[in-house]
């Protein structure tokens, strides 16, 4: 993954918290990042190039009358007043290359001195039968602060850890193994049917979470 700066722009090292989306149901993560970029009046500082992201191009997304500036698949923004960096992803990952993309992103994050990463995603409404929704606030998280995914700071915000996260479950262990440079999936996992417990680790956020967990403090909000 390579970063290309806009002419005359440079990264502010004080913007040490990075927010980015994981592709998900309803593009919720991407829409949330769009809202943050717009409301914070974040400045575009460049774009990222990764071979595992499908190419696309569009018009500027934030002006009521787009001026003709090109929008690319992975764009980098920053808000110095909020000490935030943001990456917006506008096209999907090449099929079968999610883990490789996640590894490249994790290495980029580490080499650019980001201290915290927040990944925004969403879940299928049909999965809510297995999640406690009695609290009213439907924000769930996973964090690398503790092995079980809990984080005291997230709990203070009224968020709840994703109940079905189990780091000892086979697919989470497999993702962690890949993130640490392990081998590809074993034959018995390739061919046996995946169960309900394999749903969460099959989603894009899980690969990002696992790869960033190896090198970075990550708070993940759903």
Percent of the chain with pLDDT over 70: 85
Mean pLDDT computed over 55-66: 80
Residue 32 lies in a domain: yes
Tell me the per-residue pLDDT of 169-208, one tens digit each, with 9 for 90 and over: 888 888 888 888 776 555 445 545 667 777 778 888 888 9
- For residue 89, being part of any structural domain is answered with yes
Instruction: Tell me the per-residue pLDDT of 62-112, one tens digit each, with 9 for 90 and over.
Output: 777 767 788 899 999 999 999 999 999 999 999 989 999 999 999 988 888
130 has a pLDDT exceeding 80: no
Q: What is the pLDDT of residue 71?
A: 87
- Which residue would you say has higher pLDDT here, 162 or 39? 39
CATH code of 212's domain: 3.40.50.10900
- Residue 3 belongs to some domain of the structure: no
Residue 149 in any domain: the answer is yes
* 2 in any annotated domain: no
- Residue 93: its pLDDT value, please? 94
The answer to whether residue 5 is domain-embedded is no
Domain membership of residue 8 (yes or no) is no
Q: How many domains does the chain have?
A: 1
Q: Residue 90 domain-assigned?
A: yes
The tokens of 100 are what? 């490789």
More confident residue, 136 or 12: 12
CA distances from 205 to 72, 146, 156, 208, 217 (A): 21, 18, 23, 5, 15
Q: Are 122 and 222 in contact (CB under 8 A)?
A: yes
Residue 148 lies in domain: 13-221
């Amino acid at each position: 993954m390579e970063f290309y700066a806009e002419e005359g722009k440079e990264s502010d090292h004080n913007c040490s918290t990075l927010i980015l989306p994981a592709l998900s149901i309803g593009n919720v993560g991407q829409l949330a990042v769009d809202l943050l970029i717009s409301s914070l009046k974040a400045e575009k500082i460049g774009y990222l190039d990764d071979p595992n992201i499908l190419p696309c191009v569009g018009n500027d997304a934030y002006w009521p009358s787009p001026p003709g500036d090109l929008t690319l698949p992975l764009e980098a923004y920053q808000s110095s007043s909020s000490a935030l960096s943001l990456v917006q992803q506008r096209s999907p990952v090449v099929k079968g290359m999610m883990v490789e993309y996640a590894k490249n992103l994790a290495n980029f994050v580490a080499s650019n001195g980001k201290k915290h990463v927040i990944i925004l995603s969403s879940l299928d409404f049909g999965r809510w039968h297995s999640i406690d929704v009695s609290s009213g606030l439907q924000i769930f998280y996973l964090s690398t602060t503790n092995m079980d995914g809990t984080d005291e700071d997230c709990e203070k915000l009224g968020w709840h850890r994703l109940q079905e996260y189990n780091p000892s479950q086979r697919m989470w262990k497999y993702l962690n193994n890949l993130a640490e440079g392990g081998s590809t999936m074993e034959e018995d996992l390739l061919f046996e049917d995946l169960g309900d417990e394999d749903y969460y680790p099959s989603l894009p956020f899980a690969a990002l979470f696992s790869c960033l967990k190896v090198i970075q403090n990550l708070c993940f909000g759903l």
